[in-house]
Amino acid sequence: MATPFHTRLLAEIERKGTCLCLGLDLDPGRDSPLHDSTLASLREAAESIVEATWTQVAAYKLNFAFFERHGPDGYAWLAELAAFIGDRALIIGDGKRGDIGNSARHYAEAIFGVLGMDAATVQPIMGHDSIAPFIADPAKGAFVLCLTSNPGADDFQRHPPGEPFFMRVAAWAQSANRQKNIGLVVGATRPDDLDRIRKVAPDLPFLMPGVGAQGGDLEAALSAGRPAAPVLIAVSRGILYAGDGSLTNITGAVADYNTAIRAARR
Amino acid sequence: MATPFHTRLLAEIERKGTCLCLGLDLDPGRDSPLHDSTLASLREAAESIVEATWTQVAAYKLNFAFFERHGPDGYAWLAELAAFIGDRALIIGDGKRGDIGNSARHYAEAIFGVLGMDAATVQPIMGHDSIAPFIADPAKGAFVLCLTSNPGADDFQRHPPGEPFFMRVAAWAQSANRQKNIGLVVGATRPDDLDRIRKVAPDLPFLMPGVGAQGGDLEAALSAGRPAAPVLIAVSRGILYAGDGSLTNITGAVADYNTAIRAARR
């Protein structure tokens, strides 16, 4: 039987000694000594960053938007980069896909089968049959969007106030976690919500963006971790464009995050 | 000033004399005289179908899942097919994307800028700032996922019973429609819900899958149309695999749908 995704995640965190997840969101509009706005230099920069960081991160998060904006060549880059990472770290395909059964099956095939990624972020709104194809293989994980940290999160996720949407998603995901391969995407900015979610979803790993450039609280985020249900601290800009954006500053930022993560764990 | 998407949609429906939208969901696992399971034959089949049908449809819907399942070559096919359709009909990029501001901007650039599509389907859950990039250009449209027709729609969309999520989405979309370029995705299977949505969203076009192979009621769907807020009847399998799946049967099925649409409009 396949090793469940949760077990694979815990093993990788143990192997690397950190729950840091680096988002490879390279932005052609940013100043960086590693890249200009051309796809060729972005490709090279991404590989240099992986070479320099893979021993110090548990996972890479590839946000499909940053690849698709370059058109078909960008999608080819996504596949190439996933292959380049290989088994040096877990790969989270951050495409936030969501569609009905037949289409969802194709998306799962694209992310797990064709691109060979280890986990995917998925939309909850169409319900169980839209998520089923992403959790059919115990070895592959699905992080279901639960609560994000952007201003628009108030429009729908936090409504109605009594039993908000995000709590319903969390409870559903906990109940659907029969193969130990479901997690939640939880923004790292509001510790009180984090506690509420953890209460109804005690067995689910959290993928937590919002620490770093978006200004969350690392210690509060880490405190949501449990021995069998860890948090993944997802940082992108806060590492990729740390200091002058050089590899020295990138690896320095990774080391700083890891020091802070290990200090908080003690 | 750019012509708003709603105006462009009405003009195309007028020009073609139909609100039929053909979903080009070619399935390599289906028997068809037009294609086998290879990408080369799917590409040829799609172009033959466009050549044979474009004068009789208002729009084509390209569901990204059916392209991404083929990997980078499939994504290249998506771009190629959009260019092939060109301005022969409107092109709806059915990617159901949803992410926070920065990523949403990249997705909008991918669908409207790089792929040159006319409208996109988008996820509502992250709220206004996740949708803003898709409605920034009045000429480009965003169909917001409101209510789908799959079994999982009951899990979240129809909750809580009093003021369900889908009604909140509909009301929000109506209020955000300042540039006349927002529509709703509404499954065609439950006429009573259709009435409720139309009441709070009187100015929004509906993109309606679920007629055809999924077994909805064409007349009920059409009755939701308004002079300035039409419905688009989205049919995929019910046309692409009609009869023996030959071009003759495909164009015959398109003609049958158009006859039924025109009869219902009288």
Whether the CB of B225 is below 8 Å from some CB of chain A: the reply is no
pLDDT over 80 at A212, yes or no = no
Cα A92 to Cα A234, B142, B233, distances in angstroms: 10, 27, 36
Tell me what pLDDT residue A214 has.
55
How remote is the C-alpha of A68 from its chain's centroid? 17
Chain A residue with minimum CA distance to B76: A72
Taking an 8 Å cut-off on Cβ atoms, the answer to whether B79 and A65 are in contact is no
Residues pairing with A147 in the sheet: A186
Whether the CB of B128 is below 8 Å from some CB of chain A: the reply is yes
Q: How far is B49 from chain A (nearest CA, A)?
A: 21
What is the C-alpha separation between B135 and A215, in angstroms, rounded? 28
What share of chain A in percent tops pLDDT 70? 97
Q: Is the pTM of this model over 0.95?
A: yes
Tell me what pLDDT residue A109 has.
98
Tell me what pLDDT residue A210 has.
82
Strands A231-235 and A20-23: parallel
Contacts of A163 in chain B (CB under 8 A): 160
What residues does each domain of chain B span?
5-236
In terms of C-beta density within 10 A (0-12 exposed, 13-18 middle, 19 or more buried), how is residue A22 classed? buried
pLDDT over 70 at A264, yes or no = yes
Tell me what pLDDT residue B7 has.
98
Burial B119-137 (b: 16+ CB within 10 A, else e): bbbbbbbbbbbbbbbbbeb
In terms of C-beta density within 10 A (0-12 exposed, 13-18 middle, 19 or more buried), how is residue B227 classed? exposed
Residues with Cβ within 8 Å of residue B25, at least 6 apart in sequence:
A103, B63, B66, B236, B237, B240
pLDDT over 60 at A188, yes or no = yes
Tell me the average confidence (pLDDT) per consecutive run of 10 residues in chain B, 266 residues long. Answer: 94 98 97 97 98 98 98 98 98 97 96 98 97 98 95 94 95 98 90 94 96 72 95 96 97 96 83
Active site residues of B: 96
| Diameter over CA atoms, chain A | 50
Contacts of B97 in chain A (CB under 8 A): 65, 96
Catalytic residue of the set A16, A96, A140, A180: A96
Tell me what pLDDT residue B14 has.
98
Stated as kind and residue range, the H or E segment containing A93 is: strand A90-97
Contacts of A159 in chain B (CB under 8 A): 168
Tell me: the pLDDT tens digits for A9-22? 999 999 999 999 99
Taking an 8 Å cut-off on Cβ atoms, the answer to whether B104 and A79 are in contact is no
Tell me what pLDDT residue B188 has.
77
User: Is A96 known to be catalytic?
Assistant: yes
Tell me what pLDDT residue B215 has.
56
Taking an 8 Å cut-off on Cβ atoms, the answer to whether A69 and B157 are in contact is no
Among B96, B131, B166, most A C-beta atoms within 10 A, so best to mutate, is B96
**Partner residue facing A71 (CB), from B74, B114, B160:** B114
Tell me what pLDDT residue B211 has.
81
Task: Please check whether residue A62 is in contact with residue A94, taking contact to mean a CB–CB distance below 8 angstroms.
Answer: yes
Tell me: the pLDDT tens digits for B206-252? 999 988 655 568 888 999 999 999 999 999 999 999 999 999 999 99
Q: How far is A246 from chain B (nearest CA, A)?
A: 23
Tell me what pLDDT residue B214 has.
55
Q: How far is A35 from chain B (nearest CA, A)?
A: 18
Whether the CB of B215 is below 8 Å from some CB of chain A: the reply is no
Tell me what pLDDT residue A1 has.
72
Task: Please check whether residue B165 is in contact with residue A156, taking contact to mean a CB–CB distance below 8 angstroms.
Answer: yes
Please give the sequence-ordered ranges of beta strands (E in DSSP) within chain B, or none if there are none. 20-23, 59-63, 90-97, 119-122, 141-147, 182-186, 206-208, 231-235
Tell me what pLDDT residue B35 has.
97
Average pLDDT, chain A: 95
Task: Please check whether residue A24 is in contact with residue A246, taking contact to mean a CB–CB distance below 8 angstroms.
Answer: no
The candidate with the shortest Cα–Cα distance to A232, out of A251, A218, A215, A214, is A218
Taking an 8 Å cut-off on Cβ atoms, the answer to whether B103 and A128 are in contact is no
Q: Which of residues 63-82 of B touch A (CB under 8 A)?
A: 63, 65-66, 68-72, 74-76, 78-79
The CATH code belonging to domain B5-236 is 3.20.20.70
What is the C-alpha separation between A173 and A108, in angstroms, rounded? 18
Tell me what pLDDT residue A162 has.
87
Whether the CB of B257 is below 8 Å from some CB of chain A: the reply is no
What is the C-alpha separation between B102 and A132, in angstroms, rounded? 28
Torsion of CA A39, A122, B46, B81, to 10 degrees: -30
Chain B residue with minimum CA distance to A69: B110
Tell me: the pLDDT tens digits for A48-70? 999 999 999 999 999 999 999 99
On whether ipTM exceeds 0.95, the answer is: yes
Contacts of B114 in chain A (CB under 8 A): 68-71
Question: A187 in helix, strand or coil?
Answer: coil
Strands B59-63 and A119-122: unpaired
Contacts of B104 in chain A (CB under 8 A): 65
Q: Is the peptide bond before A4 cis (omega within 30 degrees of 0)?
A: no
Q: How far is A263 from chain B (nearest CA, A)?
A: 31
The CATH code belonging to domain A5-245 is 3.20.20.70
Tell me what pLDDT residue B48 has.
98
Please give the sequence-ordered ranges of beta strands (E in DSSP) within A187-230, or none if there are none. 206-208
Tell me: the pLDDT tens digits for A147-182? 998 999 999 999 998 899 999 999 999 999 999 999
Q: Which of residues 167-186 of B touch A (CB under 8 A)?
A: 168-169, 172
